[in-house]
Amino acid sequence: MESREKEFKVDKFKNFSEWYLKVLEKAEIIDDRYDIKGFYVHMPWAMFVLDKLYSIWEKGLEKKNHQKISLPILIPEDLFKKEKEHVKGFNPEIFWVTEAGDNKLERRLGLRPTSETAFHKMYSLWIRSYKDLPMRCYQSCSVFRYETKMTKPLIRLREFMWIEAHTAHPSKESALNQIKEDTEITKKVYEYLGIPFMFFKRPEWDKFSGADFSVAADSILPDGKRFQLPSTHYLSQEFAKAFDVTFEDENEEKKHVYLTSYGPPISRTFAAMISIFGDNKGLRLPFNLAPIQVVIVPIPKEGEKENILKYCNKIKEKLSNYRVKIDESEVTPGEKFNLWELKGVPIRIEVGSREMNNNELTVARRDKSDRTKLKLEEIEKIKEMGEELSENLKKEAKEWFAEKIDYAENLDELKKKIKNGFVKIPFCSRDKEGESCAERIKEIGEIAGTLYPEEEKPKGKRCPLCGKEAKVYVYACRSY
Residue 8, pLDDT > 80, answer no
pLDDT per residue as tens digits for the range 155-199: 999 999 999 999 999 999 999 999 999 999 999 999 999 999 999
Residue closest to 162 by CA, chosen among 303, 253, 57, 42: 57
- What is the residue-averaged pLDDT of the chain? 96
Q: Which architecture does CATH list for 294-385?
A: 3-Layer(aba) Sandwich (3.40)
Rounded to whole angstroms, the Cα distance separating 243 from 218 reads 31
Rounded to whole angstroms, the Cα distance separating 116 from 346 reads 40
Complete DSSP assignment for 190-254? HHHHT---EEEEPPGGGS-TT-SEEEEEEEE-TTSEEEEEEEEEEEETHHHHHHT-EEE-TTS-E
Residue 100, pLDDT > 70, answer yes
- Contact in structure between 105 and 97 (CB atoms under 8 Å): yes
Residue spans per domain, the chain:
16-277, 294-385, 405-479
Per-residue pLDDT band for 7 (boundaries 50, 70, 90) equals: low
- Contact in structure between 22 and 131 (CB atoms under 8 Å): no
CATH of 16-277, one of 3.40.50.300, 3.90.420.10, 1.10.580.10, 3.30.930.10: 3.30.930.10
Rounded to whole angstroms, the Cα distance separating 69 from 376 reads 48
Residue 2, pLDDT > 50, answer no
Residue closest to 298 by CA, chosen among 348, 369, 358, 368: 348
Rounded to whole angstroms, the Cα distance separating 218 from 197 reads 5
Residue 6, pLDDT > 70, answer no
Rounded to an integer, the average pLDDT of 111-124 is 97
pLDDT per residue as tens digits for the range 68-88: 999 999 999 999 988 877 778
CATH of 405-479, one of 3.40.50.10420, 3.30.110.30, 3.40.47.10, 3.50.50.60: 3.30.110.30
Least confident segment among 1-10, 107-116, 285-294, 357-366: 1-10
Helix, strand or coil, per DSSP, at residue 124:
helix
